[in-house]
Structure 1
Amino acid sequence: MNHDSVYSKEKMVLKITRYLLDAQLANAEVRNEGKSALQRIQQENPPQFLLSLSYELSDERKPMATRRLAGILLMNLLDAKDATTNEHLWMSINASFRSHVKGNLLNTLGSSVPEAWHAAAQVIAKIASIEVPIKEWPQLTGSLLETAKAKEPDVKLAAFQCLVSIASSTYYHVLESHIETLFELTANAIKGDDEDVALQAIKFWCSVCDKELDLQASKIGVVCTHSRLIQRKLLSLVPMLLETLLKQQEDGIWNLAIVPIVMKSIDNNIKNYDCQLREAAIRALGSILEGPTFEKLRPTSMTDQNSRLKETTAWALGCIFKLLMKPGNWLPDISETKVEQIVNVLVESMYDSPDVAKEACGAFYCLVQSFKSFNFGSSVVTKRLSDIIYSLIQAAERTDVNIRSAAYETLNEVVICSNLAEESCEPVVSLLTSIMLKVRETTTSNDRENKGDLAMLWGVARVLIQKLSTTDFTKKRMLETEAFTMKELLKVLPCDSSTARGEAICAIGALASAIGPNFETHMLRFHKYLEAGLQNLEDYQLCSKSVGVVGDICQALGHKMLPYCKDIMRILYMDLSSDDLHLSLRPQIFSCFRDVALAIGEHFESYLVDAVEKMVLGTTDVCAQLDDSDEDMWEYDNLLKRSVFEACSCLLQALYDSLRSSQLVFPYAIKLLYLVDSVMSDDIQNYPEYIDHGSSVVTAAVKLVGDLVDAAC
């Protein structure tokens, strides 16, 4: 059939239009007739059917409903699950028909109707996946590049969608000869004002990058022969893509996120055998890490009238502090004066709009983290400590829960890095009282949001108690409010917020460590809540915190812990026997046995047999069920055994003077030595790289053997 005969079938095209309309009508009879007619034409003359559908899709005069259905039918015809079926159907059609169908589809890319050009782009991608691998349709890429030069954004968008499909395909190498034109077009698109087009242009390079990474991964140990488009354009791509970070939407969503593609490019080349490509990757990485100088990103940007600019500047400052500052390692070109300037501006920003305040909290958090072991920065914080604490407290009063959370987290870091010299500690000491008063206000509310605040407040209180306990002067000041603090803590424990209860229990543990043996006066009221936490296996995090606090209290009370040990040990035995026990809790409970034994000494003898039996037999049973091929389970196996060895060593030391206690342990000595033997063989033969002679399970095992020998002598 020649071209003229194809174009002379005008009546056939009109019939398809009518059938396409009928196939979508509400009347079932007419609709079925339309569908049947379309199916009949498809079966009788597939080439003519495809051609007619392509004309329908490309004709701007046709109803939108028929063009939409024509696009769907074209997609379905070329989208069989079996690629061989697709290829056979399409390639069995006369070349003239195929040429006209492709021409119609390319013309449709210029349609003013998005549904039409989008459908055309999808069909073009399907046809390309069939023809291009067998070296048909060599003009496709050139045609798409010409279309991508159009002034109309929708036309360019359609062309780029097709190019993205090619970049993701097995035949992406056809782009190689057009690399310069592709770069120019994508660069113009990315720098242009139409974000949809820019996103497609970025997606094009993302697709190329993903494709080349996949090809490299599939060619491990083999010289990879792909086109290396990313490598060839890396030095041009990086600056162009980094510029897109300047593009933002008013709603604050950064849609043009390009750092991932840049990092993929760098990762793709930084270990390449080609030294030029390695250099290009390193230069690209340097461009990202270097960023603007501090002088360019000066804090004066934080005082700009544009709220979005202030928010972005605070975010950028946080990124710099996070990436380039580590504890004790300050950037050499930032003087103390500049640090003070940053602190002043961030403090002022706490009172700004919610978005600015939140980012300022984040920046301050990262900044303060770098001061933990560095007196240089800490001195700056100390000078403004009162203002800093007050500004963060004010930020924590905001209605936005995200700001409150950020403010409390930052407040914790400020407390941790603050200088507790006698002349400068007052703001931190006073903060504990302020927090406790805030706790009192919050405790009376049943509001769920306030319970979240309560957890954050007790988190701050715990940090304060721990910090104030580090010097004699501040510890004395802190203990002046001991009764008030404990009273407020006990009020929280009956509440139904497990997060708040958990933070309160941890704060009590910190308080017990600070008070020491005098904490005995609080145990009468507290022990029932502690025992409830130990029994709460459904909330394993609360249970875990409770187990940890038992250790804190044991160290604080010593022998005064004895009256409470019977119930605590009974609950811990029950936990170990429960099927609901979380894996992480078992080694913690074993460590808790150690703490109890060290606290009550020879009085632990009455618990010795049950404790050792639970540890040795329980560990043997649990370890036998673990999957040895799972590295995480292997590490858990070692953690569990190490906790047994350390606990048993402590038991033997605590009961060293008791001959009867040694005799009670010996029946389990063989089983303990079996555990030791399993560790020694596994650690040395299978995982030698994990042996840490300072703290590994091997060290604990060897120490236990020595303690067993000492006990036997």
Structure 2
Amino acid sequence: DPEQLQDKSNEILTAIIQGMRKEEPSNNVKLAATNALLNSLEFTKANFDKESERHFIMQVVCEATQCPDTRVRVAALQNLVKIMSLYYQYMETYMGPALFAITIEAMKSDIDEVALQGIEFWSNVCDEEMDLAIEASEAAEQGRPPEHTSKFYAKGALQYLVPILTQTLTKQDENDDDDDWNPCKAAGVCLMLLATCCEDDIVPHVLPFIKEHIKNPDWRYRDAAVMAFGCILEGPEPNQLKPLVIQAMPTLIELMKDPSVVVRDTTAWTVGRICEMLPEAAINDIYLAPLLQCLMEGLSAEPRVASNVCWAFSSLAEAAYEAADVADDQEEPATYCLSSSFELIVQKLLETADRPDGHQNNLRSSAYESLMEIVKNSAKDCYPAVQKTTLVIMERLQQVLQMESHIQSTSDRIQFNDLQSLLCATLQNVLRKVQHQDALQISDVVMASLLRMFQSTAGSGGVQEDALMAVSTLVEVLGGEFLKYMDAFKPFLGIGLKNYAEYQVCLAAVGLVGDLCRALQSNILPFCDEVMQLLLENLGVSVYLLISWFVTVGLHTEEEVGGGRSRSPVGHTLLPSLKPKPATLLKWTLPFPFQSDYDMVDYLNELREGCLEAYTGIIQGLKGDQENVHPDVMLVQPRVEFILSYIDHIAGDEDHTDGVVACAAGLIGDLCTAFGKDVLKLVEARPMIHELLTEGRRSKTNKTKTLATWATKELRKLKNQA
């Protein structure tokens, strides 16, 4: 813990620096000391704040980068990478005389470990300067000077960095393993970061390399040119890139048939990036048809190429759907530019998903994911093909279920479960596009397959979760017609709700309960007691699930009945369960003593969002519409002070997330509209809540900003009335 080590930091640092000095005869001692410094940098801030001490540390680290022992040299460079992130504001003194030359030399090294650290240094510079650009933009909006300013090192170094990075891109290995991290891959990432950081300034530095080598006889240079092109597509102004991309399209289409598998792989990735970033270059009368032709042919290529082609189709479908004309009174376009090729694309993707080598390079999952995107982003005139696809997916699901008895090995079981999960996910997507009357015709077969899956996959949480999500979609499509399946499905819903060991399965089951409440309305009541009992059986484990139940049902305590509004008995069934629980909710969602565990911090914030949404759901459900607050909401009034104390606790914890701030702001606004001036007094007594709302108003997320601004206005309104 850096705080505990702070008191001893000077003594530790003195010993470390002593071991790193160039006079130290043992390289093993130097290496141990250099690694020790790397692990100590977080708590040396006080030393870096003092100029003389900072100079000495930097001198020793820079000298260590010149050590003949590669291990020491790499460790010293790792220190520079980390120092740049932690102490960027102090680096101007050292950048010109030392850091620039050291890192440029490292980038050119033939030793991969050294080159990787040199590249990583400049990637870190880009990360820091992008954060500083955001800070400068926020400061300008608020009319104040930024706390820290960018020195624009990346922009100043472009002319030196780009030639080294593009040359490094030519050092790829034809049989490269996707999981191996090497200078070639690092150079691609660094180029992308430079493009995002330096924007338009990077284009004139990269463009000559692309033009010179995109048709080079050496496949390595062709590949490097295409990779460089793909890397700079995000960052520069689209209008500056658009003519260049349109000009390059015929060459890229041609390169999709290149003799080199590496070039085809990179080209497919670049085309996907173009469809995502600059879709106008792909979706036009000149290039769309030849592009679709070469992509469909690409689906038959090697798995690594075909996998990137699948992703290109996903990007293309989304871009085509967004570019389509939609009538004012319609939710989706009647037709779009992929309509004439839609059925053939779907057929090719289904064939790709069925390839015997589909397990390589994630090809099978890429094909199904692409199919999901294509179906999701389809126009109305593609509906007959969507219907056919639904039947194909159902047929494949049934075939897979029949294969289970033949599974012999663990690897077969893993592939079987993965395929079931993919088919369930694809089924969800196609069902969402199926019209209600058509869904009724196939629902018996779909539900029979899902029930069979539940029966056979009790031990496979992942598959169970996907199957629950598929049922959820079927409920969404069928509405009240799902009631006929409840008796058969209820035991499996219970299994899901009791699966505490795999909380994602539990959450899927709880989410499904909410969908059932919405779809079945009062017909859910016969099942309520049993479901509530399941959630209350082990509150210590299922507090989050109980919260989720409150959210899903609390949000729907008012239902349309016979054209008028009636109070749903569901909400009142739950209110007695709510009353004894605040202390438990608080106990489970205050800061944990082990917040250095990032997973636990994430879980804590997820839990907090659940609690806040639970109270929001209950208050909104009981309150009724905005103008006429229903008296039932007074059942919550004894808990208002507790709720605000809870928000105050969250506000004081620096680890709360943007999502938590949004939920808290929304809840504060609802409390204001429900309980009026009583809330104002309680908020005024808790200044941290005001700080939380200020943080929310400055958020980069629209939802958080909107909710925080609304909550602030509601408080101001109460203050004016008072």
Shorter-chain TM-score bucket reads: 0.5 to 0.7
Q: Which residue is equivalent to 1:70?
A: none
Pair 544,598 (structure 1): closer, same or farther in 2 beyond 3 Å: farther
Find the partner of 2:341 among 374, 384, 397: 384
1:54 corresponds in structure 2 to none
Measure how far apart 1:368 and its partner are. 2.0
The alignment yields a C-alpha RMSD, in angstroms, of 5.6
Deviation at 1:404, TM superposition (A): 1.3
Calculate percent identity across the aligned residue pairs: 17
Cα distance 1:302–1:674, how it changes in 2: closer, same or farther (>3 A)?
same
Which residue of 641, 651, 674 maps to 2:615? 641
State the SS of the aligned residue for 2:541. coil
Q: Distance in 2 between matches of 1:510 and 1:578?
A: 28
The answer to whether the Cα contact below 8 Å between 1:234 and 1:281 also exists between their aligned partners in 2 is: yes
Q: Distance in 2 between matches of 1:389 and 1:284?
A: 40
- How far the C-alpha of 1:568 sits from its partner, in A, is 3.0
Using the TM superposition, give the Cα deviation of residue 524 of structure 1 relative to its aligned residue in structure 2, in angstroms: 2.5
Most deviating of 645-654 and 487-496: 645-654
Q: What 5-or-longer segments of structure 1 have no aligned partner?
A: 1-79, 92-97, 106-117, 127-131, 148-154, 271-277, 470-474, 657-661, 704-713
In 1, distance between residues paired with 2:642 and 2:531?
A: 29
Corresponding residue for 1:515? 478
Q: Unmatched 5+ residue regions in structure 2?
A: 1-10, 36-53, 84-89, 137-144, 207-230, 326-332, 408-412, 593-600, 644-670, 698-702, 715-722
1:455 and 2:421 matched? yes
What amino acid is the match of 2:440? L
Tell me which residue corresponds to 1:350. 299
Q: Check if 1:467 corresponds to 2:472.
A: no
1:316 to partner: Cα distance: 1.9
1:38-437 matched pairs, under 5 angstroms: 83=14, 164=77, 176=96, 189=108, 194=110, 196=111, 200-201=114-115, 203-204=117-118, 206-207=120-121, 233-252=157-176, 253=180, 255-256=182-183, 257-259=186-188, 261=190, 289=234, 293-296=245-248, 298-322=252-276, 324-325=277-278, 330-331=279-280, 335-375=284-324, 379-398=336-355, 399-401=357-359, 402-421=362-381, 424-437=382-395
Aligned residue number for residue 585 of structure 2: 622
* Contact 2:74–2:114 (Cα < 8 Å) also in 1: yes
CA-CA distance at 1:458 after TM superposition: 1.3
* Contact persistence 2:557–2:622 (CA under 8 A): no
Counterpart contact for 1:235–1:284, Cα < 8 Å = yes
User: Which protein shows a greater Rg?
Assistant: 1
For the residues of structure 2 that align with 1:600 and 1:569, how far apart are their CA atoms?
24
- TM-score normalised to structure 2 length: 0.61
Relative to 1, partners in 2 of residues 1:502 and 1:695: Cα closer, same or farther, differing over 3 Å?
Answer: farther
Give the counterpart letter for 2:159 in structure 1: L
225 and 255 in structure 1: CA distance in 2 versus 1, 3 angstrom threshold = same
Query: Does the 8 A contact of 2:310 with 2:367 survive in 1?
Result: yes
Matches within 5 A, 1:647-686: 647-649=621-623, 668-671=636-639, 675=643, 676=671, 681=683, 685-686=690-691
Q: Which moved more, 1:692-701 or 1:559-568?
A: 692-701
- SS of residue in 2 equivalent to 1:379: coil
CA distance in 2, matches of 1:559, 1:216: 53
Change over 3 Å in CA distance of 1:90–1:673 after alignment to 2? closer
Q: Give the length in aligned residue pairs.
A: 555
1:313 maps to a residue whose letter is: T
- Could you tell me how far apart the structure 2 residues matched to 1:523 and 1:162 are? 62
Equivalent residue for 1:62? none
The amino acid across from 1:370 in the alignment is A
Give the C-alpha shift of residue 571 in structure 1.
Answer: 3.2
Q: Distance in 1 between matches of 2:232 and 2:257?
A: 27
CA distance in 1 between counterparts of 2:571 and 2:147 reads: 64
- TM-aligned CA distance change 1:597 to 1:548, over 3 Å: farther
Per-residue deviation at 1:468? 1.1
Q: What does the per-residue CA deviation read over 1:656-694, in whole Å, with 9 as the maximum and x for residues that have no partner? A: 8xxxxx7x8755544358743697626962322437699
Cα distance in 1 for residues equivalent to 2:626 and 2:528: 18
Q: Distance in 1 between matches of 2:642 and 2:153?
A: 59
Q: Give 1:490's aligned amino acid.
A: L
Q: Following TM superposition, by how much is the alpha carbon of 1:546 offset from its aligned partner in structure 2, in angstroms?
A: 2.1
Distance in 1 (CA, whole Å) between partners of 2:520 and 2:480 is 4
Structure 2 counterpart SS, 1:598 = strand
Give deviations 1:3-23, integer Å, cap 9, x for gaps: xxxxxxxxxxxxxxxxxxxxx
CA drift at 1:241:
1.8
Helix, strand or coil at the partner of 1:494? helix
Amino acid at match of 1:317: V
Normalization by structure 1: what TM-score?
0.62
| Counterpart-to-counterpart distance in 2, 1:605 and 1:390 | 47
The one-letter code of the counterpart of 1:441 is Q
Q: What is the CA–CA distance in structure 1 between the aligned matches of 2:150 and 2:518, rounded to whole Å?
A: 65
Q: Distance in 2 between matches of 1:400 and 1:535?
A: 35
